[in-house]
Amino acid sequence: MPGKHSEEELEAEAADDEPREDLGGLTTQELRQGQEAALALEDMMALSAQTLVRAEVDELYQGVRPLGQGRFGRVLLVTHRQKGTPMALKQLPKASTTLRGFLYEFCVGLSLGVHSAIVATYGIGIESADSYSFLTEPVLHGDLIAFIQPKVGLPQPAAQRCAAQLASALEHIHAQGLVYRDLKPENVLVCDPACQRVKLTDFGHTRPRGTLLRLAGPPIPYTAPELCGPPPLPEGLPIQPALDAWALGVLLFCLLTGYFPWDQPLQDADPFYGDFVAWLASGQPQDRPQPWFGLTPTADALLWGLLDPHPRKRCPVSSVRHYLGQPWRQQEGTGAEGDEGDQVDGE
């Protein structure tokens, strides 16, 4: 009958939702979502390669000032020479960037569309003699690292605003079948001096869900523990949104304390991480590690969920919204003028 499913169809649908060892712990549905995202990106890259504007940047845009500099390129504030429109231009030198690498980052930004907490990528790619460039909306107040006071963090209302907006941005990325993989304060741009609005940027490390990856180099605080052990498949670990949930948990800890909870998530090598895992196991207040002093039970619950060492048990980034509007610090110091009493923006 129409609208009815046979027992075989229901069993097949249930099997799609079961993690499989031969897929590195992914479900069939999760793998399919990542494959669809990868194919869509390939199509977009092929089209973008055909529509690249071939010109020197200075012919089209007037440079105003630098906005950022990284290992692989730089970001400039520019204005259109004819219309005067301000934009941000990301420039990647050909000496260290392949055409495919450029097109990939450009098209990931385009694929994310318009989201209030993601830097909008404009559909203009430029190939010059020595570089590839693309244009985005300008965000003029630097990155989040400049707003985090060492050993203090951010005022609690600002921390909750950032948490709400970044969780919403990551949810949007995950809904497209992608995993961001590079969440850190340097990749969060601030839209105003009071840190009311933030936007996620830099999608060079973003990959479709299920992409096989190995850890390159030593782990850092944002590295999820599943990346630190032997991968479930010879080719590497099939990546999941749980990697972003872990990084979000570490970032929120930094926003609340002004320092990292550990240097690397290795129980035998890092005593701070070892103490955290022991506290998780016991759940006893007397086992609270020193870096976690001053946080409330609400903050504990949020961070325990995001920082569960087991990726399948880890809470999704959307769990943040359930903890907004509740105190995350035992004692809140005075924040920036205008922060007290501000409402948290849930996207």
d(CA 269, CA 267): 6
**What residues pair up with 207 in beta bridges, in sequence order?**
179
**Strands 53-54, 121-127: pairing kind:** parallel
Q: Where are the domains of the chain?
A: 53-136, 144-323
Nearest to 123 by CA among 132, 140, 111: 111
Given this chain, do its domains 53-136 and 144-323 carry the same CATH topology?
no
User: What integer pLDDT is reported at residue 11 of this predicted model?
Assistant: 47
Q: What does the radius of gyration of the chain's CA atoms come to, in whole angstroms?
A: 22
User: What integer pLDDT is reported at residue 217 of this predicted model?
Assistant: 85
For every one of its 347 residues, what pLDDT tens digit does the chain have, with 9 covering 90 and above?
A: 445 555 554 444 445 678 777 677 789 999 999 999 999 999 999 999 999 999 999 999 999 999 988 778 899 999 999 999 999 999 999 999 999 999 999 999 999 989 999 999 999 999 999 999 999 999 999 999 999 999 999 999 999 999 999 999 999 999 999 999 999 999 999 999 999 999 999 999 999 999 999 888 899 999 999 999 888 888 899 999 999 999 999 999 999 999 999 999 999 999 999 999 999 999 898 899 999 999 999 999 999 999 999 999 999 999 999 999 999 999 754 333 334 334 344 44
Say which CATH architecture domain 144-323 belongs to: Orthogonal Bundle (1.10)
User: What integer pLDDT is reported at residue 211 of this predicted model?
Assistant: 95
Residues with catalytic function: 182
- CATH classification of 53-136 is 3.20.20.70, yes or no? no
User: What integer pLDDT is reported at residue 269 of this predicted model?
Assistant: 93
User: What integer pLDDT is reported at residue 138 of this predicted model?
Assistant: 96
pLDDT tens by residue, 286-312:
899 999 999 999 999 999 999 999 999
CB 137 within 8 A of CB 88: yes
**Strands 53-54, 61-69: pairing kind:** unpaired
CB 83 within 8 A of CB 95: no
| 3-state SS, one letter per residue, for the chain | CCCCCCHHHHHHHHHHCCCCHHHCCCCHHHHHHHHHHHHHHHHHHHHHHHCCEECCHHHHEEEEEEEEECCCCEEEEEEECCCCCEEEEEEEECCCCCHHHHHHHHHHHHHCCCCCCECCEEEEEEECCCEEEEEECCCCCCEHHHHCECCCECCHHHHHHHHHHHHHHHHHHHHCCEECCCCCHHHEEECCCCCCCEEECCCCCCEECCCEECCCCCCCCCCCHHHCCCCCECCEEECCCHHHHHHHHHHHHHHHHCCCCCCCCCCCCCHHHHHHHHHHHHCCHHHCCHHHCCECHHHHHHHHHHCCCCCCCCCCHHHHHHHCCCCCECCCCCCCCCCCCCCCCCC
